[in-house]
Amino acid sequence: MPISIGIIANPVSGRDVRRVAARGGVSTAEDKRNRISRAVIGAVTAGANHIVAMQEPFNIATGALADLNVDAELEILDVGANVSPLDTAKAAQAMRNRGVQVVITLGGDGTNRTIAKIWPDVTLVPMSTGTNNVFPSLVEPTVAGAAAGLVASGIADLEAVAPRSKMIHVQLAESRSDIALIDAVTLVDDFAGNKMPVKPLSLRQLVVSQARPDTIGVSSIVGLIERCETKDDFALIATCGPGGKLIKAPVAPGLYQSVPVLGVQRVDLSEPVSLLKDTVLAFDGDREHLIGPTDHVTARVERDGPRVVNVSAALTQGAERGAFN
């Protein structure tokens, strides 16, 4: 039976206009190829025998797998990628149809959100290469790949080392819906499609599934006041606006801004939160929707998101079970 690992590398993550307004690092195609090669070597060493990677115009996966001497079937998945957000979605659906057990991603919160929309119960090893990197982590690809291989092969126990994450569900107007992994934010004086860092005085509501003081992006604003981990069975909502207490937060790489926060409160899982009318709605850093003056829009947080492999826990369990002997 194939022990399959998928590789989805967003070719444009870490390369957008936000590098002009802040000081985010640039993740090159060559850097991503190198990371994929290391991750595949780790995955095969830990038991994987089938690697499925997306083909795209930058030849990131194909370049990474070319002449890679590993004892596994290397499959290049052609989904007609043309460097659009749909590429990631199509690759995720194709890998789901092929029965891939674990997917290694290279991207930020947005890349993983795209996959979660298509495949909410996917098991992920997310590696950071984006602008907002709260959901993925900074981890050495060699051991990240090994963790993926241990989970896919069954050596590491899925329930123990890859718990379900939380996900923010937003019920939009006209019976539409959408999801976020880390934050759903309402803003004023902004517009859909804006890629620049948020203006502090534009922020109104921040619904977050995770909040830590050591991250980058709007969720860090909340995390500097109260912490919320992925394991915690609650979410947080911050209200912002004129007259609030000024919090100096890293809203983008290399960019601290003073944000007026009126208050932070806990929200139980499944508890609906009404979002403000006449605002722009951003998901995981991307402004995508408008809330009109008569729209009734709500958000709620559930524990029904992707499983995320704890690399350290998986490797510890694998070592204890003799996977590397």
Strands 167-171 and 177-180: antiparallel
Domain-located, residue 325: no
Whether residues 120 and 222 share a domain: the answer is no
Whether residues 143 and 255 share a domain: the answer is no
The predicted-structure confidence for 256-278, as pLDDT tens digits, reads as follows 999 999 999 999 999 999 999 99
Average pLDDT over residues 117-128: 96
Please report which confidence band the pLDDT of residue 130 belongs to, taking 50, 70 and 90 as the band edges.
low
3-state SS class at 24 = coil
112 contact partners, CB below 8 Å, separation of at least 6 = 105, 124, 126, 135, 136, 181, 306
Whether residues 132 and 237 share a domain: the answer is no
Domain-located, residue 12: yes
pLDDT at residue 84 in the model: 83
Whether residues 131 and 274 share a domain: the answer is no
3-state SS class at 7 = strand
Whether residues 199 and 278 share a domain: the answer is yes
* Enclosing domain of residue 220: 167-302
In whole numbers, what is the pLDDT of the chain averaged over residues? 93
Whether residues 204 and 258 share a domain: the answer is yes
Whether residues 84 and 159 share a domain: the answer is yes
Whether residues 8 and 138 share a domain: the answer is yes
Count: domains in the chain: 2
Beta strands in the chain (DSSP E): 4-9, 50-54, 73-77, 102-107, 123-128, 167-171, 177-180, 183-187, 203-208, 234-252, 255-268, 273-274, 279-283, 286-291, 298-302, 307-308
Whether residues 152 and 19 share a domain: the answer is yes
pLDDT at residue 280 in the model: 97
Report which of residues 24 and 82 the model is more confident about.
82
Counting every residue written for the chain, the total comes to 325
Whether residues 126 and 207 share a domain: the answer is no
Bridge partners, 169 (sequence order): 179, 300
pLDDT of 230 above 50: yes
Closest CA to 298 of 324, 319, 267, 325: 267
Q: Which position has the token pair 């409160």?
A: 265
Whether residues 34 and 121 share a domain: the answer is yes
pLDDT at residue 133 in the model: 82
Average pLDDT over residues 72-77: 94
pLDDT at residue 19 in the model: 45
Task: State the DSSP H helix or E strand holding residue 265, giving kind and residue range, or none if neither.
Answer: strand 255-268
Cα–Cα distances (Å) from 283 to 33, 186, 287, in that order, read 28, 9, 6
Domain-located, residue 290: yes
Q: What are the phi and psi torsion angles at 53 (to 5°)?
A: -130, 145
Domain-located, residue 231: yes
Domain-located, residue 297: yes
Closest CA to 266 of 236, 238, 239: 236
The predicted-structure confidence for 160-196, as pLDDT tens digits, reads as follows 999 999 999 999 998 999 999 999 999 999 999 888 8
Whether residues 142 and 93 share a domain: the answer is yes
The predicted-structure confidence for 88-111, as pLDDT tens digits, reads as follows 999 999 999 999 999 999 988 999
CATH of the domain at 282: 2.60.200.30
Q: Torsion angle of alpha carbons 54, 58, 63, 65, nearest 10°?
A: -10
Domain-located, residue 173: yes
Cα–Cα distances (Å) from 115 to 24, 105, 112, 265, in that order, read 23, 9, 5, 29
Closest CA to 52 of 71, 29, 81, 73: 73
Start-to-end CA span in the chain (Å): 22
CATH of the domain at 20: 3.40.50
Contact 249, 195 (CB under 8 A): no
Domain-located, residue 37: yes
